[in-house]
Amino acid sequence: MIGTGLAAAARFFLCLFLAVAVTACSTSETLRSAAPTSKAAASSKYAAIVMDGYSGEVLFARNADSPRYPASLTKMMTLYLLFEALEDGRLSRSSQITFSPYAASRPPSKLGFKAGQSIDVDTAIRALAVKSANDVATAVAEHLGGSEAQFAQMMTAKARQLGMVSTVFRNASGLPDSSQRTTARDMARLSMALRSRFPGYYPYFSQTKFTFRGRTINGHNKVLETVRGADGIKTGYTRASGFNLATSVSRDGRRLIAVVMGESSATQRNAHMADLVATYMPKTSSRNGGSRALAIRRP
C-alpha cells in the first residue's frame, strides 16, 4: 500500500511539473509573438528598442543595452554639437568650414571636397543628415574641436550629459573603429534629445534630398517615404554594425522613437522598423491630444 501511495504521489507531481512547464512555454511563446520578428533577431549584431516619444516609456526592447557599433548614427551626435554651436552663436548657417587634407581623404559616403575647399554650415548639416557624408563629418569635427580626436572626446562627454552611459565615440563619422560603441537605448535617448533640444533644427532630419552644386543628392532613409508620420532621424551601415536605423514618428497626436541595429539589409531593416511602428504606435501616449506635438517643417 505504501509503495502504491508513493507511486501515485510521484505520478501526481510529475503531471504537475509537466503542466507548469507547458504553461511557462506557452506564456513565453505568447510574449515572443507579441513583438514583430526580424530575420536578424538571432544575429549577434541585432538590437532594438521602441520608446514612447512623450513619456520615454520603453514599449519594446531586445538587446537594448548590449554594445553595438553605431556606424553613421554617430553623426546624430556630430549634429547635436553643431546645433549647439549655432545656438550659442559660435557659428551661423552661412559660416564656412574648410576641409583639411585628412577630412578630404575620408572614404565614402562623401561629397568629394578637396583640401582647402569649404562648405557653408547649412549645406554641411544637410550633407550629414541626408547624405551621411564622412568628409563633411570630419571637417565639422576639426572645425569645432581642433582635431577629430578632440571632438570625439567632446562627443563622449556630451553623451554622458544626456545619460548615454554606454557610448564611446572615437570619430565624428561612424567609420569603423573597434573602440567606438553604443547601445540601442543610448541611440534612442540621443534621438529624443535632438528633437526636444533643437526643435528649430530637427526638421533637417526629415529631408530626403538636397541640392548641391546644381545636382540633387538623394538620401538613404526610405522609411521617411514609406511610414506615415515618419519625420526623422538617421540611417547607418558598416560591415561590422549591420544596417542601423533610428526613427521618429508623429501620428494622430502620438509620438514614437525606435532604433533598430544590426539588420542584414536595408530592406529588412526598413520592414522591421515599419512592423515595430505599426505594433507600438497605438500603445504610445498623447500629449494634450497632440496639441503640443512638434510641427515638422523643412528649413
Establish whether 114 is a catalytic residue: no
Structure-block grid coordinates of residue 19: 503542466
| Amino acid letter, 126 | R
Of 75, 110, 131, 158, the active-site residue reads 75
Establish whether 72 is a catalytic residue: yes
Of 38, 110, 132, 250, the active-site residue reads 132
- Among the listed residues 65, 40, 33, 32, the one whose alpha carbon sits nearest the alpha carbon of residue 269: 40
- Residue 114 assigned to a binding site: no
Distances (CA, A) of 202 to 42, 72, 129, 272: 34, 17, 10, 24
Of 38, 45, 72, 248, the active-site residue reads 72
Which residues are documented as binding site?
234
Residues that are catalytic? 72, 75, 132
Which residues are documented as binding site for substrate?
234
